[in-house]
Amino acid sequence: MNYAEFLGMGAEMTLMVVIILLFIYDTFAPSKCGKYLPITAITLLGIQTLYLAFGNFADVSLFGGMYISGSAEQVAKIILNIGTILVFIQAASWVKDGDMQIRRGEYYVLTLITLLGMYFMMSAQNFLLFFLGLETASLPMTALVAIEKYKQNSYEAAAKYLFFAVFSSALMLLGMSYIYGVTGTLYYNGILSNITASPLTILAVVLFIAGMGFKLSLVPFHLWTADVYQGAPTVVTSYLSVISKGAAAYAFMMVLKDAFGTADLVWLTVMYAIIILTITVGNLFAIRQQNIKRFLAFSSISQAGYIMLGIMACNAHGATSLLYYVLVYIFSNIAAFAVAGAIERASGKLNISDYDGLYKTNPKLSVAMMLAMFSLAGIPPFAGFFSKFFIFYSAIETGTTGMYILVFIALLNTIISLYYYLLVVKAMFLKDSEAPIATIKSDGYTKAVVFITVAGIILLGLVSWVYDYIYGMVI
Amino acid sequence: MDYSIVILALPFLMFLTLALAGNKMSQKFAGLLGTTGLLVITILSYMVTFQYFGMPRVEGVREALMPYNFEWLSFTDKLTINLGILLDPISVMMLVVITTVSLMVHIYSMGYMHGEKGFQRYYAFLSLFTFSMLGLVVATNIFQMYIFWELVGVSSYLLIGFYYTKPAAVSASKKAFIVTRFADLGFLIGILLLSFYTETFSFDQLTAEGGFFLTSTSGATFMGCSVASWAMALIFMGGAGKSAMFPLHIWLPDAMEGPTPVSALIHAATMVVAGVYLVARLFPVYLSVPDVLELITWVGAITALYAAIVACVQSDIKRVLAFSTISQIAFMMVALGVCTSMIPGEGGLGYMASMFHLFTHAMFKALLFLGAGAVIHAVHSNEMSDMGGLRKYLPITHITFLIACLAIAGIPPFSGFFSKDEILAAAFNKSTFWGVWMTVVAAITAFYMFRLYFGIFWGKEAKHEHTPHESPATMTVPLIILAVVTCVAGFIPFGEFVTSNGTAYHIHIDPVVATTSVVCAVVAILLATWLFAKPNTKPEKMQAALPKLHKWAYNRFYMDNVYQYITHKIIFARISKPIAWFDRHIIDATMDMFATVTNVAADKIKGFQSGKLQSYVWVYIVGAMVIAVAAMLIFI
């Protein structure tokens, strides 16, 4: 084995360095320096992101083709890093609270380890590496969900998450073993040339989709989502709902394309049904939610359905619109979670009805929340409109009637989603409340994350070269 | 002439400054700022004019210059929307007219609007209007013209509705906007038709010699007329709306609800002649479709007569002036309509006459409106019954108003005589019928103008709450300047500057035509003097002798009622109501059904989300198996 090949994995190695540095800092720095941990983590990750964005990377294929990294993976990792940085900024005030203080080191290190796992997932060209990446991402995530361990919600959520993760991993492993049995290899390109549409392969593909369906919370593999999102600390939920989902979506696309590309008719059909189910069921549940975190959980389920539309196109536009959608979704959803988290920390209130009359007391937070809702619903000229536009366009571009019907159903669902997103806006702006939430004095970190995400919501759509940039990297 | 861009940029800048920072300025500063800005623009326009007309002719023709023309949007390889500046004789002449009148109005308004609420907003809108109007006249292509055309419409809307707390002003502004927008619909369709066949928006290509326009549309017909005729007639519809031609004139009298200086600027001198300008701009194209030219003549002639008769019996002085404006613009339209060739000596005289009248009319009509404003300022009323005998109190206003009345009546040596004489000569050139028709209208013009003049300054004195007094200098100076212009403008050798094909043409007065028209005008003035100069009962007797005619004319031949009937009884009741019903009961009900179904479905499936891990796993595994089995059934 040529150990020098490890150095070819630029993104993973640098992230590992960041993790180790943070770990050393947390362990050995004098306790009064602890409060600088958030800013250190943000800075280090920022530097690593800049390195990824501007460093000179060649396309590599390492360990006998088990690992690849090209410009597409590069841009996907950058997008995840941006999201993670935003979550870190959002977390900075939360980790100062009460007993979180003694665990803040764990929070940052564990989060970055899950990110490392996602990197491997996205760069894998072999099911073994893919599975290792998946587990590296899943297990520390359980610890993150349980990080507020004295709160019952938190560890109940962690138990459910852990159980579901293990269960779906087991099923996915079963599927992979069938694949190995049929094709005799775990390399994507080997599978691609040997796979045939036998019953066993179909079962294997469905089991794989079910496993990924858990990570992406696609219907009917989504039932854990609301409970876990509600129970986990808000910052973790926002990480779980955007970063984890974005990474899984990209890795999922790579596997379907690179490993199962020759059996695309099978998974296209299966995904077709799953997308319709996901978008519709997610929406129908979202309408009924009272708790803002559960509400955002179901909204994220339906958003995942839209993201999956990018997979259906099977071309560069599909991949680009998928990544672009993830990027926009990161900004919109983190904005929503940042506002919800700020209100939760200040008042402990989490119900949508508690937001009545919020505009009168907290106009800035309300406007930020409104823009997040508009973007999630896809109202022009906000970024969410453009991401939906591109992802619908990439699906329409295939030109088949089935795709037109799929996009039409997705469009109908955006109307339903508009209804429940606007319910939140209505509560904040139009309803009056006898006891509205008192004016919140946010700290600098909350202000920063709200400001950046709102700027992103407004600018990402209008600055047209973002899409072109991603397209140039993916093609 | 690269600095010509400043003429466009500066008013826009003024608008932004006044609109955004106006409330932070004092009224005086805002007024001075706007006026100074306009003074600079006026000086620049005069410089452009001198430089342009100072250039030597190329092969006996004045060349069109295009200092700027950049591509803004491209539809197809050939069809692009450009934005630029076109300098040719008529656009340069319009620069002079617009900036001069606008400057006078800016100065005048500092006195007239003194202390009004929203003074800064007023000046901001004036700047916006000036910008839009200048952009309209220097447009290099028909689409740019259309953009600025709509912008002047908006500024007009904003200024008519300036007193937005007055319901009459609000409805007048809406009426003006809707009527002109309706006409502009025709304009837009015309532009699209035209550009579809010619594949160009640009004026220099459209009006190029060699019948480029006709050859590209030849053969295509629609409902018995050639597409070329349809396109040009629709474009004329836009012009007719803006220029208040019958039957689209109904908005202009109501537009008098705006501040009087605005009426002088927009609804007398500049915006309302945009329609004439449009026809003149596309003149070679119109010449190639004689049937549309015939239509223009008829529309113009009917409008001229109609408006002149109505003006004879109105009692609101601004409305008299409004109808007089409609009638005079119709003169210009007729002058264009009676043309038969491009050569000014033989059949192309009307073009020069029309532009000449546009120029002189802008000056004396602005003077009339500003004078009327001074009168209204003094007696705080628009009604003639509240006036009378004002010549003693308002000497400057009186003299300048008289000069303008003589000019519009066509008495030499005032400017109106020269331009109107050319129009009549052009009409007689075409046929005696049109010549006689227009001479009669000219006589009626003299009659109603002097009825107005005597009604305000002579006749029985009305009771005033306080003695009327002459206006401040900011208001009288513009009056004097415009009066001087009115006295001398007739002697400008206009044919040297503006003619249909750009060659020089020496104006000569046709003695027969001139004598007839002057005699008719003098007789009409004498008749007006006999009836209105001294308080007497003759007008009432005349009214009693012709009760029907008076009633019809007073009610403007019930044109507004016709519109009311068409919109309310036919469009609202027969078309809008069924559509509204469909919207409410079919479209909304469908949406309600979606909502109900969604809600019910949401209610039915909520049991899945029980919180129990066992049931979650159950759904998970069953879901996976169902999908797998279904896929196998489909693919194996």
pLDDT in tens, A46-99: 999 999 998 878 888 888 889 999 899 999 999 999 999 999 999 998 888 777
A164-187 per-position pLDDT tens digit: 999 999 999 999 999 999 999 999
Provide the sign of the torsion angle of the four alpha carbons B389, B393, B395, B401, taken in this order: negative
The helix, strand and coil proportions of chain A, stated in percent and rounded to the nearest 5, come to 80, 0, 15
Mutation target to probe the B interface, by most B beta carbons within 10 A, among A196, A201, A202, A412 is A202
Amino acid symbol at A254: M
Which chain A residues are Cβ-neighbours of B616 within 8 angstroms? 160, 164, 223-224
What is the Cα–Cα distance from B489 to A443, expressed in whole angstroms? Answer: 72
Most confident of the following: A3-12, A231-240, B508-517, B528-537 = A231-240
Beta-carbon separation of A206 and B627 below 8 A: yes
Mutation target to probe the A interface, by most A beta carbons within 10 A, among B609, B610, B621 is B609
pLDDT tens for chain A, 475 residues: list them. 678 888 888 899 999 999 999 999 988 888 888 888 899 999 999 999 999 998 878 888 888 889 999 899 999 999 999 999 999 999 998 888 777 888 888 899 999 999 999 999 999 999 999 999 999 999 999 999 999 888 888 888 999 999 999 999 999 999 999 999 999 999 999 999 888 888 899 999 999 999 999 999 998 899 999 999 999 999 999 999 999 999 999 999 999 999 998 888 889 999 999 999 999 989 988 888 889 999 999 999 999 999 999 998 888 889 999 999 999 999 999 999 999 999 988 888 889 888 988 888 888 999 999 999 999 999 888 999 999 999 999 998 888 888 999 999 999 899 889 989 999 999 999 888 888 888 888 888 999 999 999 999 998 877 778 888 888 888 7
Which chain B residues are Cβ-neighbours of A168 within 8 angstroms? 620
Ramachandran category for residue B387: left, alpha or beta (phi over 0 → left; psi -120 to 50 → alpha): beta
What is the Cα–Cα distance from B109 to B111, expressed in whole angstroms? Answer: 5
Beta-carbon separation of A220 and B598 below 8 A: no
B602-612 per-position pLDDT tens digit: 788 777 777 78
Q: Which residue has the tokens 């945009």?
A: B274
Please compute the mean of the pLDDT values over residues B580-593 and round it to a whole number.
Answer: 87
Beta-carbon separation of A270 and B617 below 8 A: no
Q: How many angstroms separate the CA of residue A401 from the nearest CA in chain B? A: 18
- For chain A, say whether B593 makes contact (Cβ under 8 Å): no
Identify the closest residue of chain B to A263 by CA–CA distance: B635
pTM for this one? 0.66
What is the Cα–Cα distance from B382 to B259, expressed in whole angstroms? Answer: 12
Which chain A residues are Cβ-neighbours of B630 within 8 angstroms? 273
Q: Which tokens in the block code for residue B71? A: 């591509």
User: Would you list the DSSP string of A205-262?
Assistant: HHHHHHHHHHHHT-TTS-THHHHHHHHS-HHHHHHIIIIIHHHHHHHHHHHHHHTSGG
C-alpha count within 13 angstroms, C-beta hemisphere, residue B556: 22
Q: Which tokens in the block code for residue A167? A: 């269960």
Q: Which residue has the tokens 């040529």?
A: A2
Ramachandran category for residue B88: left, alpha or beta (phi over 0 → left; psi -120 to 50 → alpha): beta
B414 and B490 Cβ atoms separated by less than 8 Å:
yes
Which chain B residues are Cβ-neighbours of A274 within 8 angstroms? 627
Identify the closest residue of chain A to B608 by CA–CA distance: A223
Which chain B residues are Cβ-neighbours of A419 within 8 angstroms? 595
Helices (H), B226-348: 227-242, 251-254, 260-264, 274-281, 283-287, 290-311, 317-337
- For chain B, say whether A77 makes contact (Cβ under 8 Å): no
> What is the per-residue pLDDT for B635?
84
- For chain A, say whether B629 makes contact (Cβ under 8 Å): no
Residue A464, helix vs strand vs coil: coil
Please name which of A23, A4, A27 lies closest in space to residue A15, comparing C-alpha atoms. Answer: A23
Which chain B residues are Cβ-neighbours of A209 within 8 angstroms? 627
B3-57 per-position pLDDT tens digit: 888 888 999 999 988 888 888 888 888 889 999 999 999 999 999 999 888 888 8
Cα-only R_g, chain B: 29
Please name which of B404, B457, B148, B123 lies closest in space to residue B278, comparing C-alpha atoms. Answer: B148
> What is the per-residue pLDDT for B218?
62
CB burial string B116-148: b at 16+ within 10 A, e below: eebbbbbbbbbbbbbbbbbbbbbbbbbbbbbbb
Residue A247 contacts by C-beta under 8 Å, 6 or more apart in sequence? Answer: A76, A80, A118, A121, A122, A137
Please compute the mean of the pLDDT values over residues B319-331 and round it to a whole number.
Answer: 91
Check whether B216 has a pLDDT greater than 70: no
B36-51 per-position pLDDT tens digit: 999 999 999 999 999 8
Residue B226, helix vs strand vs coil: strand
A393-448 per-position pLDDT tens digit: 999 888 888 899 999 999 989 988 998 999 999 999 988 888 888 888 888 899 99
Is ipTM over 0.95? no
Cα dihedral value B226, B228, B230, B231, nearest 10: 160
Q: Which of residues 263-282 of A touch B (CB under 8 A)?
A: 265-266, 269-270, 273-274, 281
Cα-only R_g, chain A: 21
Total Cβ atoms within 10 A of residue A130: 25
Check whether B219 has a pLDDT greater than 70: no
Please give the angle made by the CA atoms of A86, A371 and A448, to the nearest 5 degrees: 30
Please name which of A92, A91, A102 lies closest in space to residue A149, comparing C-alpha atoms. Answer: A102
- For chain B, say whether A166 makes contact (Cβ under 8 Å): no
Mutation target to probe the A interface, by most A beta carbons within 10 A, among B600, B612, B615, B627 is B627
Q: How many angstroms separate the CA of residue A231 from the nearest CA in chain B? A: 12
**Nearest beta carbon to residue A202 from set B602, B606, B635:** B635
Identify the closest residue of chain A to B622 by CA–CA distance: A220
